[in-house]
Structure formats: structure tokens, C-alpha cells
Amino acid sequence: MSNRSHSVSEASNASYKASNLSFNMSQPLVHLVVILMSLAWVLPTLGLLTSSVRPPQAVANSGWWTVFLNPFDFTQFTLANYRQVLGQTGMARGFLNSLAITLPATFLPMLLGAFAAFAFAWLDFPGRKALFIIVVGLLAVPLQISLIPILRLYSRAGLAGTFAAIWLAHTAYGLPFSVYLLRNFFGSLPGELFEAAYIDGASPAAAFFRLALPMSGAALASLGIFQFLWVWNDLLVALIYLGGSSSVAPLTLVLSSLVGSYGQQWHVLTAAAFVTMIVPLAVFFSLQRYFVRGILAGSVKG
Amino acid sequence: MIKRVRSMRIGRGWGALFAGPALLLVGLYLVYPTMNTIYLSFLDQRSEHFVGLDNYARILTSEATLSAFRNNLLWLAVFTVGTVVLGLMLAVLTDRIKYEAVAKSIIFMPMAISFAGAGVIWKFVYAYTPPGVNQIGLLNQIRAVFGSDPVAWLIARPWINNLALIAVGIWIWTGFAMVILSAAYKGIPRELMESARVDGANEWQVFRSISFPALAPTVAVVATTMMINVLKVFDIVYVMTNGNFGTEVLANRMYKEMFEFRNYGQASAIAVVLFLAIIPVMLVSIRRFREQEVH
């Protein structure tokens, strides 16, 4: 893996700044472009957040930006939309379902992926090389190719519409990336380490649990965030395998059905959308460094 | 890259035990279904009778799927170019400012939220009310400020609504391109750029003759990732238009064939087409991996 600066914040300190380049770059233009793009990126989300705390009448009849005419008039804000969304639309249930789906579906592919990655990096078994090449190939496979056969298996086994169905599916779909990422990481650990452990009589299991895993905190964190966000934000897999059963529907599924049933009631939709975003945004802003690291490790191997 | 120590290759049983569960799941959920879907694509809608290439013939002749093909091609061109160009631009420009970390966080943030959530965010940006009434959608308000009539962004076909959807995709994925390209950009030796500047090259010449050639392999990787994303694009379309008004894409069409029309043969054939489209990418990534292993 590379030693390049891996986080957005680290990166900012790492390099030259324009002020050091006293050359002909038109610096005001740089600021203008970056600020305009930042605005284009942040305004849509800001509009959503603002509307979610405005009364229904206000949301329907005036633009969200009008609140900034009197930014300190707090009477124009309300939490009623959130109360409605959590109370009446199944979002509260959806939130719990999302947690119930996401936690096991993050942990399992990390664990099984770590086992397999360790085997690919440091153990021997029949077909090791060929199997890993298949795993690399599967990184790009569109999930669509597996939906019908798996759904049929699930229907036959009575698993459609259960948490187990979606845990297993997300685990399997997450495994190629998990194995790929961790295998590269384990492979970069010094071999002498394991050699010494074996000479001391340690088993591969001991080498895995006592040496490899404790050294992989950062790699596991990157992978974990990736998988967590992927599962939390997934719509397709939930839509197919959980279908219409609202008792197990995660937030994304509830939100997409609200878009159908609440069409133009933006006070509901904005609050509902924000509920789906709270957890991933918290994860993103607190652990951004690991997220960036995962992206870099997964796409450009240094 | 990996120096495997000989004495560590102990007990094949351990290796199989460690790799077994993952390989079993991947086999069951990805390898077997791929073969099964290919098989189903040659059967009729209830998977009872062999129909040869009928499903494929219908895909290539029905207006619904043809329009999905065209839209996926439009996505392929606009989305891929858009994310790569904007990502490249931001990678280079944010390197020259003091608030780099803040700007990058803002651009990168949409990567954290769901496509469904992003769909709602942008549906609201595109909201339309008739002229003369207060606009509540940001984009139509901006038009109103300039005295233009509001546009029904998600309905006006064929270009405006498809481009409106693609813009959402670009909004989500540009941060990804930027992060990867930015890391690569910071890896270019500064002395190279400096000496070119000393020799009198302007910034554009420095970019064209030094930065871009150095970034080209990374640009290729990012563009490949974006192309894969295009083939899988589903959530944005499903949530925002459900493929109506001429905005259909292949993945959404497959979903409809599956659940609305219960035509498993047709749905499988679409899935196989997506799979075939991705095979070149798979082969390239396998080859890149093997080259890396040799070094």
C-alpha cells in the first residue's frame, strides 16, 4: 500500500500551497471555481435540511432560502415533520431495521473476508492462485446477475423477507472486496513475523488472531466503514430480497416508498431523507480518514 | 509483492478451513447465480420452455429496452466524462488553496449518503411549480431570478430529464474521482513542475505536459470505475423517475421485468447483457492484478 497522504485533512497539510507558487496562476479564478463548486455541492443538502425543519405550509409555498431573510427568527422552525415521519411513516421502525441489517452485514464479511484473506496471503490450499483471480474478477460483477437465482432459492427455502436472507446476501456481495483489500494488507506484513511464530509452535489460527488481526486495525476500519455505508445505503438488495414486507424494511426502502406515496409533500420527504442520512453522515465526518484510505487501497494499489 | 515464507506453508487443511466459508458464499451467491442466470436467459418468462435467443431478440427490438440502452450510453458518456473532468479539476485546484480540507470534505460528502437519499435531495432541487407561483425548487428559482420560465426538469425529454438524472450521479461520484486523483497528483514530484515553471511554462502547459501524463494511469482506473457504476445505475432512476418520461436504464428495466411483468427470461437476458458489458473490465483488472503480482 502506498504512503501517500491518505486523508483529506492530512493531505491539506502535506503539500505545496498556491501561496508558495508565486507564478502566473490566476489565483482568484481558482477560488471562484472551487467556491462555486462547493456551493453547488452543499446547497442541495442544505435545502433538504432547512426544509425538514420548516412547517408544511411554509415548505409548500415558499423557497427554503427565504428562511435566511430572518435567520434568527427561530419561530419559523419546527420539529413536527420529524415527529410525523418517525411516528406515522414507519421511519422509526426502518431505523431499527437498518441497524439490525447493517451491523451483522458489516461484521460478517469482515470476519469471513479476513479469514480468507489470511489464507490467500499466508497459507496454502488447492487452487489458491486461480481462486484469487476469480475473486479479483468478481469485484466488478453487477449484482443484477445474481438476483433471480438467489431470490428463487430464498423463496423455496422460505428465506425471502427475512433478516437472515439479507445478511447472507450482503456478506457474500461484500466478500470479494473484503478479501481483496485485506489480502493485500496481510500480504504486506513481514513474513519473518509469522515464521518466528511458527517456529515457536503457534498454529495458523494463533498467527491470525494474535498477530495478523491486531496489526490490521486501520485496514479493518477502512473496510468496515466501506461495508457499513454500502449496506446502510443499499436499496436494490433490500428491495429484491425483502420485497414488500415493511416489518423488515430498512430506511432506504421506506424512503423510496414514501417518495411514491407522499409525492409532493416535501416537508415529509425532506425530513425522511435526512433521517436516512444521519448515521452515514456521522460515520463519514468522524471517520473520513479511514474511508478515504479504503477508497485508495481498493482502487489504486500503490 | 508478497514474499511467502516457505516454512509457513503448513497444513493445507488450515488454508482450506480459513478460505472455505468465504469461497462457499461467493460461489453460492455470485458464481452459481451467474451461470444460472445465463441459463434462464434462454428460457421463457416462467423458466419452463427453451426459447433460444428470443429474449435477446426482444431486448434488441423492443422500444423500452432500446431506450434504456440509449440512456445507458448517454450516462456512459456524460457521467464518466463529467466525474473524471470535475474530479481532475478539483484535485488540481484544491491543491492550491488553504481551505483544501473543507472544500474536499464538501465535495466528498455525497459519497456517504444513499443514492435514494440523494434522489430525494435532487428531486427537491428540481421541484417545479407553474410560472407566477413561488418556486420552491432551487434550480427553477435561479431561473426565475434571471427572468426565465420554470422547467419541469424531470419530465422534459429527451435531454433535460436524462441530464438532470446524470447530474445527480455526477454530484455523488465526483468526490470519489477527486480523492483518488488528488492522491495521485500529490505523488507527482514537485521539482518537475517547478523546473518547468522556471523554464517559463504556464500553468496550463505544466498540467498538460507534466501533471496529466503522470495522472493518466489513475485517470484510466477512475474512468473504468465510473463505467462500471454506469452499468449498475439503478437507485437514482428508480427513486426519481422510475424510468418514466424516457429515462429508463437497463438495471431499472430489469427490475421491472422481474417484479412488474414477472418475465424472468427477459430479466435474465438484461442481466446477462450487463454482465457481458463488464467482462472486458474484469479481464483488464485481472491482468493489472497479475502484472502487479509479478513485480
Q: Which residues of A touch B23 (CB under 8 A)?
A: 116, 131
User: What confidence score (pLDDT) does residue B2 get?
Assistant: 44
Which pLDDT tens digit goes with each residue over B79-110?
Answer: 999 999 999 999 999 998 899 999 999 999 99
Assessment of whether the complete model's pTM goes beyond 0.80: yes
Smallest CA–CA distance, residue A160 to chain B, in Å, is 14
pLDDT at A127: 86
Residue-level pLDDT at B294: 67
Which pLDDT does position A139 carry in this prediction? 87
Q: Do B105 and A8 touch (CB under 8 A)?
A: yes
Q: Of chain A residues 42-71, which have a CB less than 8 A from chain B?
A: 42-45, 47-48, 51, 59-65
Question: Range(s) for CATH 1.10.3720.10 in chain A?
Answer: 87-296
Contact A112 B21 (CB under 8 A): yes
More confident residue, B76 or B3: B76
Question: Which contacts of B50-54 are long-range, i.e. CB under 8 A and separated by 24 or more positions?
Answer: B51/B265, B54/B265
Which of B59-63, B147-151, B166-170, B184-188 has the largest mean confidence?
A: B166-170
| Residue B211 in grid coordinates | 501533471
Residues in A touching B225 (Cβ below 8 Å): 299
How far apart are alpha carbons B182 and A243 in whole angstroms?
A: 40
Contact list in B for residue A119 (CB cut-off 8 A) is 14-16, 18-19
Alpha carbon distances (Å) from B249 to B5, B153, B194:
50, 17, 47
Q: Does the CB of A278 have a partner CB in chain B at under 8 Å?
A: no
Does B103 contact A34 at a Cβ distance shorter than 8 Å?
yes
**B203 pLDDT more than 60:** yes
- How does residue B11 score in pLDDT terms, banded at 50, 70 and 90? low
Cβ–Cβ contact A176 with B under 8 A: yes
Give chain A positions within 8 Å (CB) of B285. 136-137, 139-140
SS3 assignment for B256-291 = HHHHCCCCHHHHHHHHHHHHHHHHHHHHHHHHHHHH
A144 Cα to chain B: minimum distance (Å): 6
- Please indicate whether, in this complex, the C-beta atoms of B109 and A150 are within 8 angstroms of each other: no
- DSSP per-residue string spanning A198-247: HHTT--HHHIIIIIIGGGGHHHHHHHHHHHHHHHHH--HHHHHHHTT-TT
CA B132 to mean position of chain CA atoms = 38
User: In the predicted model, what is the mean pLDDT of chain B?
Assistant: 90
pLDDT at A24: 45
Options 1.10.3720.10, 3.40.50.1860, 1.10.287.3510, 1.10.10.10; CATH for B41-118+168-294 is 1.10.3720.10
Q: How far is CA A243 from the centre of its chain?
A: 22
pLDDT along chain A (302 residues), means of 10: 41 42 66 93 95 91 88 85 88 94 96 94 87 89 93 92 94 94 89 83 85 89 92 94 84 91 89 94 89 75 36
CB-side neighbour CA atoms (13 Å) of A245? 14
Q: Which residue has the cell 422500444?
A: B63
For residues B295 and B1, is the Cβ–Cβ distance under 8 A? yes
Alpha carbon distance B184, A291 (integer Å): 17
Which pLDDT score is estimated for B124? 94
Domain ranges of chain B: 1-30, 41-118+168-294
* Å between B158 CA and nearest CA of chain A: 22
Query: CA-nearest residue of chain B to A22?
Result: B197
CATH topology for the A87-296 domain: MetI-like fold (1.10.3720)
**Which of B23, B218, B235, B238 to mutate: most A Cβ within 10 Å?**
B23
CA distances from A216 to A5, A114, A145, A200, B292 (A): 18, 10, 33, 22, 22
Answer whether B201's CB lies under 8 Å from B194's CB.
no
- Tell me, what's the pLDDT at B266? 94
